[in-house]
Structure 1
């Protein structure tokens, strides 16, 4: 099973559209995950129309229209792994232990908010993934997204993809 992970698209405030490279990945993924801060419903509509399966949550910049359609936290079992998706996890300091306490029944937690790519594991094994942002790099060198593979109850091939600068 192939996953496509993104967050913090902030359209149309940070960019006019999702990068073409990212859009090309949508139909190749079995599951597309968006960890919040969509900002516009058009992006949700677009991903819903193109993805085989979409798992998304709202973020702190998402208004009432998105909050009416998306949960604050989403849960799914994918290929034998228990996934959670949330926008905010708090400060980087102590994140692993804090998330392990908050989500004791998960194997993988996908989050956003910081625009900073993150791939760590908490004591006890909870894997924490933040794909960064494909449209707003903030202080990062690149805009980013992630892909991953799931097979036989294992998460493998987690890859951070760097997008070329926008023209």
Structure 2
């Protein structure tokens, strides 16, 4: 999975995608570009870069790798390895309509604002275990939740931007 950062005149922004409503999994959800590692991918970074090209139309020349966040298992039986990279703000974005309904950016400063995020408790469907998951209101009109919010929470933690 790719966590794209853009340097803008007003500060750093994160790029998100909204998945189409007719997707078989995670339909209508906010996400970062990403997907399964293909047999031809050398590693998870190669998979993230390939998926960025498939979903956004941007290739490796437009990406500058920063690092890798903590691996995350998901309740939908996926294992996610988030890779943070700078995305050239001048790179033209050509979203794949099959995989991306919308592309939007949110200032990192807004996402780091404690008033823009919450922790909620819920019961995992498969295990019945009580889990606490973050969600972010800062992506208005979209709510950022699920694994995307967990990755974002980890990024803010690594950057020490929780504001707590």
TM-score range, shorter chain: under 0.3
Structure with larger Rg: 2
Alignment TM-score, normalising by the size of structure 1: 0.25
